[in-house]
Amino acid sequence: MVPNRLLPGNRAYLDGNLVRRKMGESDLDQVIWDNELAGFGLRIRPSGKRYWFVRLRQRGRHRRISLGCTDDVEAPIARGEARRLLAEVALDGLPKRVAAKVAPVLADYVDEFWTDCARHWKPSTQRRNRNALEKEILPAFGAMRIDLIGRAEITRWRDDYADGRGSRYNRAVPVLGAMFKYAEQLGYIRKNSNPCKGMPGFKPNKKERFLSPVEFRRLARELDADAASYPVHVAIVRLLIFTGARISEIRDLQWDWVQLPRLVLPDSKTGPKTIYLNSQAVRIFDGVARHGDCRFVFPNAKRNAPIILDPWWLQFRRRCAMPDVRLHDLRHSFASVAVREKVQLATIGSLLGHALPETTARYAHLADDTVAEAAQRVSGGLAETLGLSA
C-alpha cells in the first residue's frame, strides 16, 4: 500500500498525512475513498474544509453519516468510528447512532444536506439558497442541534424579521424547511416534525411600476445619449424594453442561444424558453459586437462572465429623473403596453414566459381600465349626439 498517493477513482489511504496535503482547487465537492476500509471517505468542500464520513448500506439504501471535521477529529479516531458503524450495520442492520437518532448541530449538518440536495438545483438557485444559509439560517441556528429546533424557535426567528425585512425571511424559510425534510429522511428528527411546515410568510410588498409614454420618451433620449459610451448596457436595456424578458435572460445570454429571429434559452426561471423577437429587437443584434470565442453576448471586460449593469443603471435612471424605476419594471411596462394594445392575457403570459396563468392575472386590472376608458369615450360620443353633458 502507498499511503499518500491518490489511486484511480480518487482512492487513497486516509490518514493525517493525506489530510495535510494541499489539493487542487475545485468549484465542486471532492470525495476521496479509503482504499482499505470500504465506505470510509473524506469530503473536501470548495472552501477547503474537510470532513470524514462513512457510507452505510441499510435496507437497500445508502446513507452517509458525518464523522466530523478533520480539524476536530483525527484520522485514526474517524477510521475507528467508521469501522464500528460498519460492523454494527453488518451485525444488526442499523447502527445504534442512527437508531437513536442522534442529530448533529445544524452547522455540521449543512455539509451533508448541501452535498446531497444542492446538486439537483439550478446554479442560480444554489447561489440564492447558499446566501440564505450563510446570512440568515446559520447565524440563527448554526450552534443548535437540529432535533432541538422547534416551532417556538422558528416563530421567534420569524418575529425578528417583522421590522421590514420580511422578504429575507421568505427566501430563507423554504431552505430551512427543506433541511428539516431531508433530516426526517435521514432519521435525525421524527417523521412529520418539520417545524417550518405551515409557517406563515410575510406578505410581499409588490412593487409594480409602469412607465408612462412620457417616461418612455425620456428613457429613449437618455439611451441615445449613452449609446456611444455604453453600447452594451444600452443594448441590454433596449432588448428588455422590446421583449419584456427577465434581466438574467438577456444579461446572461450566450451566442449559442441566439437563433434570430428568436432566442432559445436552454433554461430559465420556468424552464426552457423561446423568446420571439420583434423587428426592433432583431435590429439591436446588428450592432452587437462578437468578441472572439467568448460565449457571452454581453460580457464583462475580462470576457469571462456577463456584464454587471447595476452601477451604470443606478446613475442612468437618476439622469432620467426616474430614480425609483427598476430594470424589472421594464418587464411590467411591456405587459402594460400589450394590454393597452388589446393583446389577450394568455398571449401576454406566453410572451413573458409565465408558467402559471395566475402570474399574468396581475395585469387584468389594466385590461379593465382599458375597457373602462373605451366605455367612457363611447358614452361621451353618445352624450354629445343626444345633447347631454357627458
Express each pLDDT in 224-279 by its tens digit.
999 999 999 999 999 999 888 889 999 999 999 999 998 999 888 777 888 888 88
With a CB cutoff of 8 Å and minimum separation 6, the contacts of 79 are 14, 34, 37, 40
- Total Cβ atoms within 10 A of residue 116: 13
Place of cell 474544509: 49
Q: 3-state DSSP call for residue 38?
A: coil
Cα distance between residue 112 and residue 62, in whole Å: 13
Least confident of 131-135, 156-160, 163-167, 197-201: 163-167
Cα distance between residue 357 and residue 32, in whole Å: 48
β-pair type (262-265, 50-58): unpaired
Local structure of residue 50 (DSSP, 8 states): E
The pLDDT of residue 172? 94
Q: In what order do the strands lie in the sheet with 11-12?
A: 11-12, 30-34, 40-44, 50-58, 61-69
pLDDT band (50, 70, 90) for residue 4: very low
The pLDDT of residue 58? 65
Q: Which amino acid is at 15?
A: D
- Give first-to-last CA distance, the chain, whole Å: 98
Tell me what the mean pLDDT of segment 149-165 comes to. 89
pLDDT band (50, 70, 90) for residue 186: confident
pLDDT band (50, 70, 90) for residue 122: confident
- Burial of 70 by CB count in 10 Å (0-12 exposed, 13-18 middle, 19+ buried)? buried
Cα distance between residue 128 and residue 231, in whole Å: 30
For the ranges 11-25, 217-231, 347-361, the maximum mean pLDDT occurs at 217-231
Cα distance between residue 43 and residue 86, in whole Å: 18
The pLDDT of residue 44? 86
Q: Which amino acid is at 152?
A: A
Q: Please, what is the average pLDDT of the chain?
A: 82
The pLDDT of residue 355? 56
Express each pLDDT in 73-98 by its tens digit.
888 888 888 888 888 777 655 554 44
Tell me what the mean pLDDT of segment 95-121 comes to. 75
